[in-house]
Copies of this chain bind each other. A is one copy, B any other.
Amino acid sequence: MSNNNSQSVNFSETFLNQLNGQPFPASEKVFLNGSDGIQVPMRKISQSDTLLESAQGKISYESNEDIYVYDTTGPITDKNCFVDIHQGLPLLRKPWIAKRDDTLEFIASNNPVPSANFEPQTTTCLRAKKGSAVTQMAYAKAGIITKEMEFVAIRENLNRQAYQSELLKTQQKGESWGANIPDEITPEFVRKEIAEGRAIIPANVNHPELEPMIIGRNFLVKVNANIGNSPVSSNIEDEVEKLVWSTRWGADTLMDLSTGDNIHQTREWILRNAPIPIGTVPIYQALEKVNGIAEDLSWEVLRETIIEQANQGVDYMTLHAGVLLRYIPMTANRLTGIVSRGGAIMAKWCLAHHQENFIYSHFEELCQILKQYDISISLGDGLRPGSVYDANDEAQFSELRTLGELTKIAWQHDVQVMIEGPGHVPLQMIKENMDEQLRHCYEAPFYTLGPLTTDIAPGYDHMTSALGAANIGWYGCAMLCYVTPKEHLGLPNKEDVKQGLIAYKIAAHAADLAKGHPGAQIRDNALSKARFEFRWEDQFNLAMDPMTAREYHDATLPKPSAKKA
């Protein structure tokens, strides 16, 4: 390890240790109770009182209600729970899974090689007992409401019933474009949405640390962050730090796209410390196994990689099963060809062998594996446009229709599915993407990268794409994959991850408001009221980024008195 790396590890360690139990200012982690000991974390933000002055000059105070915010940070911000990242998070779901009694415990042949400083709490793995599907979809279809379903139902309601103030609860009428968002999310509603494929709870039985969350058109719009080392930079501690940092800024899920050394170990550390679902693109690691030569890939290498990651606890996997041999020539007249890395790998393999995509041709076998772990499949859009020029073309939409066919097959196996989408699409062509996806993929959750609405601002693609993300979220996209300022230019550092997440949390929240998601406007109303009443501290504390809001204010008006008048 180079000197630079050791230094970086020290910084990461310091960050992680200091964060333990540290929520945002004026915030406290609270738990909403479900049945049978379920505890759903929320962040509670306290407010100061409003000063009232009567016409006679008499002073009185009116209290302002606590505001509840969706909390993705997990136990690390729980002051009653000391987290040692070298051991991993508490195993929240372990008893839930055990009680279902449909998995068997085994020792994986590719068990993680213990690394210095890392002592996970468990070294065995789970998978379904022979023949059973241990997926949320299987339970949902069987009419079973799981603990995971109840957890997300409570979580999605954001403790709305707690509010007294009519003003806080007042909300503009939304336009949901045909979505079906109830006033209250019940566990039964969650079950039905999952049974019908409109929503997923990515939750591998080998990821017991997970606090379940749901992705679907009729729920809050979610945000995914990508991290990952590469041959160029980064180390394990850096990646864990980025995970914790991502959850701090609101990442609902995280993809580990590592391609460098220690892929397995990095993923192990990430999973054991992740309160949010972790996704991967297994073909990346498979490619490493064949020394980077796409032509040498095979279903067998990929299958082995999928099982290795399944045993570790990966919750969802991007698989480019829709890049069919006959679609590849459709990209010939593109300006930017195939820009999806996974798509390019599969296209290279298909052309070299002149055979059909082996993920497509082994799709049923793939589903047989995934259902034993409850790994959600994220059907990759390998032919997504890489420029405004290539948006919504024949290649892209042909693949999308194939993803729809595969969705039906996965559902037959009770495998949960989401569909990945573009990419680079100008504003006026975004809705067509959503409409085509709904039509051809039967309302399976859509999960898009951006889309970027213009190509002329490298360095600011978190912004060019947040414009597109807000709109597609409004139209019905269930999860937005963030883009950082470094997109197209380099690998994101911590600040880039934060900037990307903030841009996307804004986009997702703007979409929730636009859809008329019940209660979405409460925090807006509370902050606006604090603003109007010059309650600066409350304004900072209610802000998405309290520290930056305060810092910007203090830069020009640093005096304490300026925070009151």
Known contacts A454-B513, A510-B454; is-contact A521 B388 (Cβ 8 Å): yes
Q: How far is the CA of A489 from the CA of B546 in the complex (A)?
A: 12
Does A471 contact B427, Cβ atoms closer than 8 Å?
Answer: yes
Chain B residue nearest in CB terms to A429: B172
Does B467 contact A524, Cβ atoms closer than 8 Å?
Answer: no
Determine whether A529 belongs to the interface, using a CB cutoff of 8 Å to chain B: yes
Contact for A453 among B335, B429, B513, B539, CB less than 8 A: B513
Contact for A458 among B387, B489, B539, CB less than 8 A: B539
Determine whether A440 belongs to the interface, using a CB cutoff of 8 Å to chain B: no
Known contacts A460-B506, A513-B388; is-contact A556 B486 (Cβ 8 Å): yes
Chain B residue nearest in CB terms to A512: B454
Determine whether A190 belongs to the interface, using a CB cutoff of 8 Å to chain B: no
Shortest distance from the beta carbon of A325 to any chain B beta carbon, whole Å = 22
In order of increasing CB-CB distance, the 9 nearest A-B pairs are: A490-B556, A387-B528, A427-B514, A459-B548, A175-B428, A453-B510, A428-B514, A455-B524, A489-B552
Chain B residue nearest in CB terms to A492: B556
A-B contact pairs, 5 of them (CB 8 A): A336-B528, A453-B514, A459-B549, A489-B549, A490-B557
Does B556 contact A388, Cβ atoms closer than 8 Å?
Answer: no
Determine whether A463 belongs to the interface, using a CB cutoff of 8 Å to chain B: yes
Does A506 contact B467, Cβ atoms closer than 8 Å?
Answer: yes
Determine whether A433 belongs to the interface, using a CB cutoff of 8 Å to chain B: no
Determine whether A233 belongs to the interface, using a CB cutoff of 8 Å to chain B: yes
- How many copies altogether? 2
Determine whether A401 belongs to the interface, using a CB cutoff of 8 Å to chain B: no
Known contacts A489-B549, A489-B552, A516-B428; is-contact A524 B389 (Cβ 8 Å): yes
Determine whether A83 belongs to the interface, using a CB cutoff of 8 Å to chain B: no
Chain B residue nearest in CB terms to A516: B428
Known contacts A233-B556, A388-B513, A464-B510; is-contact A544 B490 (Cβ 8 Å): no
Question: A residues near B, CB below 8 A?
Answer: 167, 170, 172-175, 232-233, 335-337, 386-389, 391-392, 424, 426-429, 453-460, 463-464, 466-467, 470-471, 474, 485-486, 488-491, 493, 502-503, 505-507, 509-511, 513-516, 521, 523-525, 527-529, 531-532, 539-540, 542-545, 548-549, 551-553, 555-557
Q: A167: which B residues are within 8 A, CB to CB? A: 335, 389
Contact for A335 among B175, B532, B551, CB less than 8 A: B532
Does B524 contact A456, Cβ atoms closer than 8 Å?
Answer: yes
Q: A466: which B residues are within 8 A, CB to CB? A: 463, 466-467
Contacts A457-B502, A458-B531, A460-B503 known; 14 new A-B pairs at CB < 8 A: A172-B428, A172-B429, A386-B528, A388-B513, A427-B513, A428-B515, A454-B513, A455-B524, A456-B523, A457-B544, A458-B543, A459-B545, A464-B506, A467-B506
